[in-house]
Amino acid sequence: MARRFAALGASVVVCDVDDDGGAETVRLLQETGAVALFINCDVADANAVARLHDEIVSRFGRLDCAVNNAGIGGPWERIESYPRDGWERVLAVNLSGVFYCLQEQLKRMADSSGAIVNISSIAGKRGLPYQAAYTASKHGVIGLTRVAAQEAARCNIRVNAVCPVYTHTPLFEPMIADNPRRAEKMKERIPLRRFAHPQEIADTVTWLCSDQARFITGQALNVDGGMTA
């Protein structure tokens, strides 16, 4: 997503708890001539999120687009044995983190306009067994998106969500790395018979932030190869 926004001419702020990964992303962007900055931020910390957005506006003067993409998977357990600390951590990052970011982003876009995309999941549209916290958090992201879209429309701010299917990312790869049979069974549930590529999600996100999607808000758009059909 960062590369795609940079290629379209945006100044990009990369935010993560991973200093090395964030710095490497920014280095790759800067090598292409893009304006890019890394800021460490744990989205589960409301005060850190406020400082992050203060710094963004201080450095660049305004905020035009935002993508709330931070997320963790959490434990794989049945509900009756799901660890409470795992539940609380997943909800803190995946749902409260989106809420804190939306609060700060909407404040800073209120005097102009903007576009926000929250990353949900197909787990926001259906239940994934043994992933109670992840599923609940991604359903919550869609609900937050719909509320924010209605509240922000008067300021010409659009808020949408993207719901990817299984995508080749570091969060997903360990699930299939040592189990080719599981990977094939998962692909069988997808009519296009493959997993998503990060670029396909990035293309959807940047389109939703563009003027081409200027009359689209409050939507939870599936990028799932037809799985939820």
- Could you list the active site residues? 134
| 100: Cα separation from own chain's centroid | 13
Question: Residue 166 to residues 25, 48, 92, 132, 156: CA-CA distances in angstroms?
Answer: 22, 30, 22, 17, 32
Say how many residues make up the chain.
229
CA–CA distance, 154 with 131 (Å, rounded to integer): 36
Return the ∠ at Cα 135 (arms to 78 and 39), rounded to 5°: 120
Distance (Å, whole) CA 75 – CA 36: 34
Query: E strands of 91-193, at which residues?
Result: 114-119, 157-164
Q: Are 198 and 157 in contact (CB under 8 A)?
A: no
Q: How many CB atoms lie within 10 A of CB 134?
A: 24
